[in-house]
Amino acid sequence: MATFIYIVSGINETIEDCDISIDSHDGTIIITGAEGATCHIYNIQGMEVSNMYNLRGQERFKVMPDIYLVCIKFKNGQTIVNRIMVK
């Protein structure tokens, strides 16, 4: 068993009136509704495994089965960080 502690500064946990979806299916992380934002995906060890700038309607990131942190940052400085398990 291992325990990890992440400290993330300056992050708003929610954005009012937000319609963003972060889901996984068949080894893919799917992000919907984050148009214009930047996305960074980190594995549980903290290594960045993927990123994309200027997201569009729906973006797909192919990854290995694991637990990931998805960080979505908007041009206005607001940020969403979400944990997702990919099977």
The CATH code of the domain at 21-86 is 2.60.40.3110
Q: What is the pTM of this model?
A: 0.77
Judged against a pLDDT cut of 50, whether residue 78 lies above it is answered with: yes
CA distance linking residue 17 with residue 86, whole number of Å: 27
**Rg of the chain over CA atoms, in angstroms?**
13
Q: Which amino acid is at 35?
A: E
Higher per-residue confidence, 35 vs 6: 35
Structure-block tokens of residue 81: 């960080």
Q: In this predicted model, what pLDDT tens digit does every residue of 37-53 receive, in sequence order? A: 999 999 989 999 999 99
